[in-house]
Amino acid sequence: MNTSTPPNPPVPALQVAVLGIGMMGFPMARRLCEAGCTVSVWNRSRSKAERLQDVGARVTDTPAEAVAEADFVITLLENGDIVEDVLFRQGTLAGLRPGSVVVDMSSIQPRQARDHAARLAAVGVHHLDAPVSGGTVGAEAGTLAIMVGGKPAEFERVRPVFELLGRPVHVGAHGAGQLAKLANQMIVGITIGAVAEALLLCEKGGADMAKVKQAITGGFADSRILQVHGQRMIERDFTKRGAVAVQLKDMRNALATASEIGFDAPITSLFEQLYAQSVDHGLADLDHSALFVELASRNGMA
């Protein structure tokens, strides 16, 4: 008689659709495929989505087709207006399964996230706003910081997917994830400016920027921005990871939200102007650490 414990039955593959296969969507969708999820993908430019066929993704011609069998629908789109267009004007809404969860991992305004959640709830579809931080490096490694707004029960449903991508934290009701992302982007954008200005001051005064960075590492001024973006500044490597144009969008979203709730954000206002001037001066498609270039130009150091 065989008394050994029978093996656990296999866990059904998670059915996930990913809409938007860009710089973040590609590595995130690839991780889901490699983890054994059943993944359908859609992108406006089909060729970007087709890169995922080799890891088992099903490429679709329309977002409605991508979401038809999905339990979880992840959107990774450029801004809130595009998210709204894809969800509500391209037939996606009709294709969503009742009870499924739309997980918007785009960076949009909190009010837009709340509006999308209400409109999806009206047709029996759940919603979480879950923007991320960590860039393409974090997306590839599965170490993203994931800030989630919405109902706790839906957060727990989606947790297995989130944990394939990074470290999720439920921060509050619908829109709270986007608020947390705005806070993240305010800190990132402002700190990039502080690091750039400080390093340029040192170079202008005759100090070696690389040695200055080494000297203050481990002190109170140390940060991931100093280590990662500061090194890019030292090397003058402004290859796009997170674009100046996207940083400007985030600062403007933060200011729009601040205005809506009656909050004065003078520091963010100043940096919104600096990033806007960087865009005006042709830096839009460079990495956001290229604010260094704008500040260097102001000081005749470009």
What is the set of active-site residues? 181
Q: Is 13 exposed, middle or buried (0-12, 13-18, 19+ CB in 10 A)?
A: exposed
Q: Is 13 helix (H, G, I), strand (E, B) or coil?
A: coil
Among left, alpha and beta (phi > 0; psi -120 to 50; other), residue 16 is: beta
Q: Residue 284 in contact with residue 271, Cβ under 8 Å?
A: no
Among left, alpha and beta (phi > 0; psi -120 to 50; other), residue 51 is: alpha
Of 190, 63, 76, give the one whose Cα is nearest residue 131.
76
Q: Residue 244 in contact with residue 283, Cβ under 8 Å?
A: yes
Q: How far, in Å, CA of 163 to CA of 73, rounded?
A: 15
